[in-house]
Chain A
Amino acid sequence: MKDKIAEKLLLVIAFSAIGSLLLITFFIFQQGIPLIFKIGLGNFFSMHWSPTRGQFGILSMIIGSLMVTVGALVVGIPFGLACAIYLAEFSSKMVQKTLKPIIELLAGIPSVVYGFIGIVILVPFIRTHFGGPGFSVLASSIILGIMILPTIVSISYDSLIAVPNTYREGSYALGATKWQTVVKLLIPAARSGIVASIILGMGRAIGETMAVIMVAGNALKIPHSILDSVRTLTSTIALELGYATGDHRAALFACGAFLFIIITILNIIAIRVTGRRE
């Protein structure tokens, strides 16, 4: 009897989680999509964003989001991958047991703290050493690159560890060095997991808001260099939602809907890529 009740209870809870997800999805699209039809796709994907004057072009923000995300990957992938390979193949059990939890702890730091560190240390550093306002694509990329490290490291690590030991032994038996084994055998064998970790990291970078608002400067102009300020889609929503009414508010929901679609696509790709391994 108790079992039955517990089962039903869990079922209800599980479905309420899915239900709230569906409600959120429905709400975002219901609020945002009508505006896109009203103003037309041409206006929505144009260059100029000035919602109080009836211009709803999000192109500069799409480019901004892309630049920052690519920047984050440029920072995050080499460090993340190197860290995962070291942890999985070269380090002792002791090092593994201390380093991995520490890296995973990075994921638990609130993004506002990253942003604050960015403002206090990174932005002035960039301003004095490289010029420009300091609030820049570069600052956002570095902060986001650090923020996606835990995702990249832990998933890549898991997929490297999952490569059967017989592979390694076979490789050594053929006379390959440890480095050759890693590059020629383990990385290709763990490829799907590594790609998935990158895609999930990318999803996090696109969706990140608070830290980016604090260090990106949020200028609407499309940046000409990595030292220029940049505005992402998520920052626009968070910056302007407080005051927005009417079409302006709907436009922010439309941005949200657009982001939702991009992140869903990324997640589907990630699931497909990892799925192929099994």
Chain B
Amino acid sequence: MRYLAIVCIFLLTTCSQRKGSIIIAGSTSIQPFIERVAERFTEENPGIQVNVQGGGSTAGIQATLNNTCHIGASSRNLKVSERGLKTYLMAVDGIAVIVHKDNLIDDLTIEQIQGIFSGIYEDWSEFGCTKGKIIPVTREEGSGTRGAFEDMIMGDQVISDACLVQDSNGAVREIIATTQQGIGYISVGLVDEREKALAIDGVEPTLANLITCRYGFTRPFLLLLLEEPTGEVKKFIEFVLSKEGQDILKSDGLISATEISND
């Protein structure tokens, strides 16, 4: 009998926890940022658990459409076949092309970057640097960041099979930070002092240039909902779009959605 009581209490507590939980699924690029916002949100609303899952933009959109998560996260605009969801622009992210901090190059043109990733240029000496084989690092097929890079920078050029492939922003950054001849691309917000973000066609990926859209290699971070938000989900969306939520995102290197729309 006593065991039964314990089991009941256990079930009740787990159920009540369930009630106040929000499941977010989607883009792995958005995941680390939304996790930080969610952390603060939970601090201020102790009853509500926010569960952030990865899976990728496409999976996030699908999960929202199938109603298997409360909020979907997508780091690309919706395709025509995916329309019909409510979307909220959470922030804007830039894609930075990065090299090792000791690399002498500061600036490349789009054509040069295309040439490096499509395998036309193979040695840094072709850019006036010390001799050394260029080691381009790309993301895996299907990744949202790769998709954005292909759309915005590669154009109709195809990323060469000779590029190293890593499956996260962090893994790409780690290789570039430790490899003198490396070149890769990650979210602007994730660039740290161990690597250098290149200017593209003379425009540096600084915050000012991102806000004014002079640095044009940006993509939207979208939150997706199946229908009008209510209850906890509504509260969370409002928190993300509030000044406090936006400030967290800004401090992590993203461009606040409000800043963009004000321009």
Q: What mask results when residues 96 to 140 of chain B are scored 1 for a CB within 8 Å of chain A, else 0?
A: 000000000000000000000000000000000000010100001
- Which of chain B's residues have a CB closer than 8 A to the CB of A217? 164-165
* 10 additional contacts (CB under 8 A) given A239-B140, A242-B54, A244-B141: A133-B179, A133-B181, A218-B164, A218-B165, A220-B165, A238-B167, A240-B140, A242-B28, A243-B55, A248-B141
Q: Is B9 an interface residue (CB 8 A)?
A: no
Which residue of the partner chain, among B140, B164, B175, contacts A243 with CB atoms under 8 Å? B140
Residue in chain B with minimal CB distance to A222 = B161
Of B56-64, B205-213, B243-251, the one contacting chain A is B56-64
Interface size class of A (residues with CB under 8 A): 20 to 34
Binding site for B on A (CB under 8 A): 48-52, 60, 119, 124, 127, 132-135, 213, 217-221, 229, 231, 238-240, 242-245, 248
Q: Is B178 an interface residue (CB 8 A)?
A: yes
Q: Is B144 an interface residue (CB 8 A)?
A: yes
Binding site for A on B (CB under 8 A): 28, 54-59, 62, 133, 135, 140-144, 158, 160-167, 174-175, 178-179, 181-182
Which residue of the partner chain, among B165, B167, B175, contacts A242 with CB atoms under 8 Å? B167
Residue in chain A with minimal CB distance to B136 = A219
Residue in chain B with minimal CB distance to A133 = B135
- Which of chain A's residues have a CB closer than 8 A to the CB of B59? 242-243, 245
Q: Is the CB of A242 within 8 A of B164?
A: no
A39→B161 CA distance, assembly (Å): 21
A217→B182 CA distance, assembly (Å): 12
A244→B143 CA distance, assembly (Å): 9
Which residue of the partner chain, among A219, A239, A240, contacts B161 with CB atoms under 8 Å? A219
Residue in chain A with minimal CB distance to B140 = A239
Q: Is the CB of A239 within 8 A of B167?
A: yes
- Between A and B, 13 residue pairs with Cβ closer than 8 Å are A52-B141, A133-B179, A218-B140, A219-B161, A220-B162, A239-B167, A240-B167, A242-B167, A243-B56, A243-B57, A243-B58, A243-B59, A243-B144
Which residue of the partner chain, among A52, A133, A248, contacts B164 with CB atoms under 8 Å? A133
- Which of chain B's residues have a CB closer than 8 A to the CB of A48? 161
Which residue of A51, A213, A240, A242 has the most chain B CB atoms within 10 A of its CB atom?
A: A242
A208→B54 CA distance, assembly (Å): 24
Residue in chain B with minimal CB distance to A248 = B142
